[in-house]
Amino acid sequence: MKFDINKSIQILERTPSVIEEFLTGLDDEWLCSNEGADTWSPFDVIGHLIEGEKTDWIPRMQIILSKSPDKKFVPFDRFKQFNDNKSKAISELLLEFHQLRRDNIEILKSTTIDEHTLGMTGIHPEFGHITLKQLLATWVTHDLAHILQISRVMAKQYKEEIGPWTKYFSVFAK
């Protein structure tokens, strides 16, 4: 599929509701379990998504679209959620994510995005020059990948419980 801002917004708008519906009311065992050392629980993923809303997608879009000659992105802290969210409840995180995403979608919708602006670039600390199109497509992919991650982590909690059926689920192949 070729990038389309309207199709992208369809996913970006739905992500908070999808995750909220999936996780609200679940026991902590579902929310706080992970896949082992140095892996993330669904709780951790929500914190990571919040940090992206605050410091990644829209701020980087604004850098790309700015008239400033300095187009360098501030490095994104992929692990900030581990310090920021220790004392928060999942309900707080879900509400914060929902509100931040709603605000960011409004900014995105109010921004003129056309072929010219999609080709404008910023400077990623690791990848160098990236286009606005790549940034926005990555935002959508990031959402979908983390929805998949949440499902995978949760499915693995029953890996030992399903016995021989593990061979039928690709989620256990890794």
Q: What is the pLDDT of residues 152-172, one digit of tens each?
A: 999 999 999 999 999 999 998
User: Which 3 state secondary structure label does DSSP give 131?
Assistant: strand
Domain boundaries, the chain: 5-172
Element (H, E) at 124: strand 121-124
pLDDT digits (tens, 9 = 90+) for 24-65: 999 999 999 999 898 999 999 999 999 999 999 999 999 999
Give the span between the Cα atoms of 56 and 44, in whole angstroms: 17
pLDDT tens per residue across span 90-120: 999 999 999 999 999 999 999 999 999 999 9
Predicted model pTM: 0.94
Please identify, in words, the CATH class of the domain defined by 5-172.
mainly alpha
Q: Could you tell me the pLDDT band of residue 86, with boundaries at 50, 70 and 90?
A: confident
